[in-house]
Amino acid sequence: MATEEQHVESSVITVSANGVWKSGVESTVNVRGFDSMVMDEPPALGGTDHGPNPMEYVAGSFVGCFTVMLQLIGGELGIEVSKLEIAAEGDIDLRGLYGTADVSPHFQEFRSTVSFAAGGNVENLAQLKSEATKRCPVYNMLKDAGCEPQIDWQVDQSA
């Protein structure tokens, strides 16, 4: 394992990341040649807050992934997706992380507000929404993990 590059073989790709512990609960994480990501925890969770915590990165991944899918599928369906902004948040019961109760340590619930202006073939809007939730990797990872994102769609078709 541990190749630094993303490689495509038939339809399967492998993505990777590597990290080094720095101090406390802080680490420096690298993906290919990009700038390092700093991951830490706030003081309330035993860290020094030098960077987002790992589950904040997961929430961010959802935002980035859903953005990709709306543009990709919008292109397929002839819908121009502009002014796209996504907010996402998830609830974590810390008793799972600390081992003090038998609860899931990851997201209990996950919510997102997806707002954009739609132009072009707006009659395909329902299909855009259904395809995005069906095909988005991070959406489906969360769904399969039992915390399907609840999407609040805010679409402006007046543009």
Our finding on whether 130 is near a copy of itself (CB under 8 A) is no
Our finding on whether 13 is near a copy of itself (CB under 8 A) is yes
Q: 97: which DSSP letter?
A: H
- In the complex, minimum distance from the CB of residue 46 to a copy of itself, in angstroms, rounded to a whole number: 6
Within residues 132-151, the interface with a copy of itself by CB under 8 A covers: 134-138, 140-142, 144-146
Our finding on whether 20 is near a copy of itself (CB under 8 A) is yes
Q: How far is CA 135 from the centre of its chain?
A: 13
Our finding on whether 57 is near a copy of itself (CB under 8 A) is yes
Structure tokens at 24: 């406390």
Structure tokens at 46: 């035993």
Non-local (6+) Cβ contacts of 144 within 8 A are: none
Our finding on whether 16 is near a copy of itself (CB under 8 A) is yes
Among 77, 80, 88, 155, binds a copy of itself (CB under 8 A): 88
Structure tokens at 45: 């969770």
**Interatomic CA distance for residues 48 and 70, integer angstroms:** 36
Total residues in contact with a copy of itself, by rule CB under 8 A: 91
